Chains A and B, each alone.
Chain A
Amino acid sequence: MPSDRSANVQHAIIRTTNVVKTFQLGSHTLEVLKGISLNIAADRHVSIMGPSGSGKSTLFNMIGGLDKPTSGKVFINEVDIAQLDAYELAWLRCRKIGYIFQTFNLIPVMTALENVTLPMIFAGTGNDEAVERGMILLKTVGLADRFNHKPSELSGGQQQRVAVARALANGPSIILADEPTGNLDLTTGEEIINLLKRMSEERKVTIISATHDFKMLNVSDEVIWIRDGLIDKIEQRDELRISVGTIE
């Protein structure tokens, strides 16, 4: 299998073994993830593709340590995250992973700069250094002149740029993006995709995005197709060109 081949060459930064997630809805048990095992190699741009409701966000939450699987294990850098205590988990979310969401999820009462510096403060960075690095990050995403604006004063695309800057705040090794273009129009979405691509190239960070946006395929090294809580197929970049041709 292609994914195994690449994982053997490169170190697997994320590995899941038979992850199952069920939700209890009254007396009814909904099985959303039905046993997902995957290896994601470091420094790659991986897309998790699948129709709406296929379990992408649920998988995203498992991989990001935001929720616990019903059974199965998630390893980040070969550490089983179920073994981490609350402090270690917070540290992991703060320093190692950057999250990007469909609805941007900036803190509404804070300015763009404050949103970007908050994770740095949590990481123990002094205020002056945080402001300095925050401004550099905002500049990188092209929003230096908007540093003092609240999220409500920014367009969707601009908010998502701030979210990208925030995700990069502590130099994470993984960026997790759940439908990062889901609430954006075509061109703004493309800008965010290109920004993510540029960041993955410049900063050696593993980017994992859950999406059903086919524009994302062009920049992905690997695509994991999910259907009904199971992995449908895993395609590498070279195999992809053929199937993209048939999609578009």
Chain B
Amino acid sequence: MERLVALPFGKSVEIAYQSIRVRFFRSLITTLSLVLAVAFLCYVQAGNRIAETILQTGSEAGFRALLQAGYDVQPGDAAIGESAKQRWLVILSLMVCVVGIVNAQLMAVTERFREIGIMKCLGALDSFILRLFLLEALMQGFIGAAAGALLGAVFAVASSAVQFGALVFTALPLGGITMTILTATATGCLLSLLGVVFPAVKAARMAPVEAMRVEE
């Protein structure tokens, strides 16, 4: 007989999901900075896509509206990239967000030392603990990032509508905005995983007695 312990993937997903659900508020706090950062990322990118579509219609009114809204466009331009300032703001907000996640996850993991110790006493390997934390972060990341991306896209459309008026609705780049939402969500998932790796590895490596000595 092979002397191996196991944790089937489906069961890990179940445990991770349950853990998020039961600790809803803790999960919310962990995810909040991610929601905001991804919303900002998506807002900036979707806004640029909309402006770009208006530019590409080639209409005089559109061009004037863009200039008025502060876009740095020349006659004959076909694309609007992120400005250097926008790019820095986005990168900075994503960095702050990862630091926020690491911080929140370190606290969340510390609160769960005892639980980790118990699981190890019941035969869990380090890899089980690591997998549970990564799955939780992935689920939280997905939900938070998707919510943030939608939020950002909605705000981008709304603020463009205010800036450009009816022009926006004649040239709304739905496909482009959807792509932006998807990439922003994926970015959010990655950031969430990035934020949990260090706390999760630290937790998974703890010896059972060490983990259980921590008073709650």
Contacts and interface: CB of A to CB of B under 8 A. Distances in A.
Interface string A89-100: 011011100010
Contact of B8 (A101, A105, A121): A121
B121 A87 contact: no
Contacts of B6: 121-124
B7 to A, nearest CB: 6
A123 B209 CA distance: 21
Contacts of A121: 6-8, 11
Interface in B3-34: 3-8, 11, 18-19, 22-23
B208 interface: yes
A19 interface: no
A38 B124 CA distance: 29
Nearest to A87: B4
Most A C-beta atoms less than 10 A away, residue of B8, B19, B121, B124: B121
A91 B123 contact: yes
B114 interface: yes
Interface string A73-106: 0000000000000111011011100010100011
A133 B19 CA distance: 24
A93 B3 contact: no
B123 A67 contact: no
Contacts of B11: 121, 127
> Contact residue range for chain A?
20 to 34
Contacts of A67: 207-209
A184 interface: no
A67 B115 CA distance: 17
5 contacts: A66-B209, A93-B122, A101-B212, A107-B119, A121-B8
Contact of A87 (B5, B18, B120, B209): B5
Nearest to B215: A103
B207 A90 contact: no
A196 interface: no
A86 B126 contact: yes
Contacts of B4: 87, 91, 124
B139 interface: no
A119 interface: yes
Ranked nearest first, the 8 interchain pairs of A and B with the lowest CB-CB distance are: A94-B123, A109-B22, A91-B3, A122-B123, A119-B122, A67-B209, A93-B123, A122-B5
A112 interface: no
A105 B5 contact: no
Contacts of B126: 86
Given A61-B209, A90-B125, A121-B8, A105 B3 contact: no
Contacts of B7: 121-122
Contacts of B3: 87-88, 91
Contact of A122 (B114, B122, B212): B122
Nearest to B117: A105
Contacts of B172: none
Contact of B121 (A88, A93, A109, A124): A93
